[in-house]
Every structure is written in structure tokens, then in C-alpha cells.
Chains A and B, each alone.
Chain A
């Protein structure tokens, strides 16, 4: 059964449209990440689901019940805010119990739920402290605890890790993944950090410019980006994009062969028939598909501009003949230096092609 359903949700602030005809269906207990840059509308969408913003058009349903006309407290959702939004004058215990008291939950049950959440989140020792006496990570746990005790049907997490330092962020990420196994609810997390989205979510919803750009499991988003935006936004470093022209007019060929601006030709495994007839194409290549090789095996060559040593691998920022920038990968022990001319082999089987409309065309499955 579907848990959350959004149908044709639109929202404007004054004359500025922030969401345009957004629809989405979530499965029960699904973990979905809204991923997108600032201003993409992802936070507004979350707030509309929470009831903190109204929508101009469309419907929001949770477990089949229409919730968009209801006040936030009656929707069966709980939210973890980016800045925690704890009540500063209340103890941790009262912070967690406040919502339950307002909902007239019996006292004994409130105590039991708070105790259980505190046990799970390992904040039992802090129950009588106030938020001001706690570290950022502990406050984060209290904020999560406050959401858990409500036993909501849907958790809304608004950039939950963005306020934590790097080490704590990794730890909390693991804990969120574990937590999600324990709670019987769907989860939506808003983030602009693709690593968070990739590691936590069952499905990622990439948003940009008021619209959903792509919905899919993390690896599908990564390996079959729907358009240029998704291709560039997901993956670090970003996907290489270079103008490309189709080689040959043999429309009976199964796969497209394209030529780069420097004259190098690449055999892709993108079905030629699927490509639009005329117009400019763009070739998309992840850095791991562009390897530094000896000249004999090279598809093309490039001048090294910057070498980034990451330990297990080395990223080479280079330019092709004609000035086209490209990011390539080499082994961790790479001897390449700035100013060198290196041979690059392009793995065409992993290449993507983007049509004039920005739409993505991908390699057919390996069996083909």
C-alpha cells in the first residue's frame, strides 16, 4: 500500500513558482531522499507535507487519508528540524513528552515511550538536562527522540546531518540507517549532500528548478541519470560533459559512435535508434570511465592541469586538444605531474549521451 501520495502539488510565493506540478508515491516504510541544490523546492515540499506551508494546488495523502487541509499536529507526521528546534527552557524529557501531553496520551504511556526512545538513542543519562547543556550531537538525538515518541506514520528529516561535524555526521548517518530499521514508518529526508542520499535512501528524488528531475534507486540515479542536471549533480567529482557529433550516417548501426571536439572517436553502447535525429549531442563520462594509459592504448591525449591525490586513486584534471576540460582517474600511485601530456582511454561502454533537450540516453545492459 502506498504511504505518502503527492498529486500535482504546486506552490507559489508571490509571483515566484517554487513547485510546479509535483507528483510522487511512496511505498510503505520506504526511505526517500529529496536531493537538490538550494532553491530547488525540496524544503518547501517537505514543509507542505508537514503542514508548515500551504499548497496552492494538488493533494497530499498519507495512508489513503487526505492530510493537506489538516493542521500539522493532526497529520501523523513527525519532523526533525535542521537546527533541532528544541524547546530551550524544557528538559530533554519534557521536550520529548510535550507533543504527547498535548495529544492527551496517558501519563504512563508517555513515560514508557520517552524511556524507550531515550534507551534506543542512548540519552537516558541526559533526560533531566536542558538542551543548552548538551552538545550538538546530543541535541540531534533529542530531536530524533522527540519525533520517535510520537510514533508517526511518516518521519520528515530536514537536512538532519548538516549541523554536525564530519566525524559525527558519519556516525549519525550509520545510526539513522539503523534507526530506520527499527521504526515502522516511512521516512523522507531533505538533503543537498548526495553521499547522505546515496547511503540512506531506498529511492532518491532529484529536484531542481521547481520540479522533480528523476525518481529512482541510488544506483539508477548514478548510472542512468535522466538528464544533464542529474548527471552533473550526482557523483563527485561531477560527470565530464563534452560536445559530441554522431559519426557516420549508417543508421543501421546498432550503437552510436561519436566524435569529440579534438577529433577522437568513441564507440558507445547507447542505442543509435533512440537518439534524436539532428541537433547537438553531449557525451557524458564519469571520471572512472576515463583512465590514464600508455600512448599505445589511448583514445585521445590531454594536458594535465591539476593532480588531486586521494590515496586509493588519483584524479587528473586535464584539457583535451581544443580546450575541452576533462577529469580522468589514475591509480593511487600515479606519477603524473602538472603540465604532463598523458594518454587517456575512454571506456565507451559506460558513456552516456544527452540530446539537445538534455534528456539522457544510456548504455544498454551488458547482455546486449
Chain B
């Protein structure tokens, strides 16, 4: 190719490259650099090497936030995946009712986190909430969903599942539609009952979608923030302080930007490592499943 032609090619990709570098590469690199510095709001940065990281690994609040985040992800991701799959299986039919319910279950996804937490506050609040009043109606003690360390984690998990179920359900529905109908007919002629068909035909065919959903949701739920901030404020006693909430508080309440960035880099590495591990372990040896 002539150098003129090569330049012409660059001209075509330049707008994208510019946006990509400016919005993605630059912040990424800048973030890494920032994490090696002591930065506060008013002064400039001062290079301090790995001090921020050393401090983080000695910071009980941070270490606890990692634990809390993983615990929440562990409570949310498997349950969310199973519920979304169950809903998709139930709603994967061409009836009007199924279409309406698909819309209903997806609709929660379009709400902002503020609305979602507001709704669930109405449900969960022990004194005036729906569950509290119901419990009192039966003469039982209301469960302190928002003020007990364990229950408040479940409150966050339930809120998150309710909010996030739409997309994985749609992904599973799309995956189900990809399975050709004649494979089910072959299974019927092969005497496969309902369960056998589900376990031996449907689920193996959905393997890629399951991996995708688990990866996406793991990455998303490790960054859980809005619900924790608005529903419990990280409390009681820091029991629901997630990593992003820690980063937010460090950066924008205590204005320790370098320290917060170092925590964000650790979160980034954790997410990349975890999702890659999931992908490699689950997709190994299944490259040939695509064809029929």
C-alpha cells in the first residue's frame, strides 16, 4: 500500500481512535499513575511508590469491604442467574400473556437506582414498610432488614436481583430462541421427558449464555454501589460497605484521590481476573458445540 493510501486509512479510523484514547486509554493510564501518588483536592500529586497499596492491605475497612462485596456477589449472581433462567424458561412461548410478563419483568431494569431503592425502602422498612406491617398484622416481630448486619446484606441482594433480572432474562430468552425446534422434536422421539430435555438438551445449549450472564453479572455486582449507598449507607456498622462505596467515600468524602484510585485499581484487577478465570474454566473444550 502506498503511504498516501495508508494515511487515508488512518483518516477514517482517526475519529474513533481519538475518542477511544481520550475516553478510555488516557483515564486508564492516568488512574494507574494516580494510584502511585499522594493526591488531595487542593495540592498536586506527589509520587509515593506503592505506599497507597501497602496502606490498603493494612486497612481493615478496605479489606472488609472486599469481603462484603464478594459476599454480596456470591448472594446475588447465582440466585439472579437461576431466577432469570427460570423466568426465561417460563416465558419462552408465543402467547400474549408471556409477552406481557416479559415486559413486566424487564421493566424494573429501566428504573434508576434511586427509584429502586425508594421502592424497596417502602417494602423493607420495619416500622412502616410492607413486610413490617404484614408481619405485625400476623402478630410477629418485623425483621430489621435495614438495621441488622446480615439482614441488610439480604436486603441489598434482593433489591439488586429485582432491579437486575431483566437483562439476564432477555439474554436467556435470546439463547432459548437460538435452539432449533427440531432438536426438541428429536428429543421427544428419543423419549426424553421434561427434565431430561431440560438437563440434557436445553441447558447444554444455553451454556454460552450462562457463562455470559455469570460473567456480566459478576463484573456488575462487584461494582455494586448505588443500592448500598442509598438503602443502608454502608451500615449498620459498615456491614454493607462495598468496595465502590469505600472508593467513593475515600475519594469524595475524605478527598484522598490517590488512595481511592489505588483501591479502584485493585477492584479492576479483581474483576478482570475473576471473569477471565470464569471464561477459561467454563469454555474450555466447548469450541465445537456451535455447529449442528
State the A residues within 8 Å of B (CB): 50-52, 71-74, 77-79, 81-90, 98-99, 102-103, 129-133, 139, 146
Contact = CB atoms under 8 A, between A and B. Distances in A.
B291 interface: yes
A88 B182 contact: no
Contacts of B182: 81-83, 85
A233 to B, nearest CB: 27
Interface string B193-233: 10010001100110100000000000000000000000000
A129 B288 CA distance: 9
A145 to B, nearest CB: 13
29 contacts: A51-B189, A52-B188, A72-B189, A73-B190, A73-B192, A74-B191, A77-B189, A81-B186, A84-B292, A85-B180, A85-B182, A85-B185, A86-B183, A87-B186, A87-B201, A88-B290, A89-B205, A89-B286, A98-B187, A99-B191, A102-B192, A102-B193, A102-B196, A103-B191, A129-B288, A130-B289, A132-B289, A133-B291, A146-B190
8 closest Cβ pairs, A-B complex = A132-B291, A73-B191, A99-B190, A85-B182, A102-B191, A89-B204, A85-B186, A72-B188
A231 to B, nearest CB: 34
Looking at B185, B186, B200, the one whose CB has the most chain A CB atoms below 10 A away is B186
Contacts of A78: 189
A84 B180 CA distance: 11
Contacts, number: 88
Nearest to A99: B190
A50 B193 CA distance: 16
Nearest to B287: A132
Contacts of B205: 88-89
Interface size class of B (residues with CB under 8 A): 20 to 34
User: Chain B interface secondary structure, helix, strand, loop or mixed?
Assistant: helix
Nearest to B186: A85
A79 B291 contact: no
Nearest to B207: A89
A107 to B, nearest CB: 16
A82 B196 CA distance: 24
Contacts of B190: 73, 98-99, 102, 146
Contacts of A73: 188-192
Contact of B200 (A77, A98, A129, A146): A98
A351 to B, nearest CB: 45
Contacts of B192: 73, 98-99, 102
Looking at B183, B190, B196, the one whose CB has the most chain A CB atoms below 10 A away is B190
Contact of A99 (B189, B204, B286, B289): B189
A217 to B, nearest CB: 30
A139 B189 contact: no
Contact of B292 (A51, A99, A129, A139): A139
Contacts of A146: 186, 190
A60 B189 CA distance: 17
Nearest to B189: A72
Nearest to B184: A85
A60 B191 CA distance: 19
A130 B287 CA distance: 10
Interface string B53-92: 0000000000000000000000000000000000000000
Nearest to A71: B188
A71 B196 CA distance: 15
Given A85-B180, A89-B205, A89-B207, A132 B288 contact: yes
B188 A131 contact: no
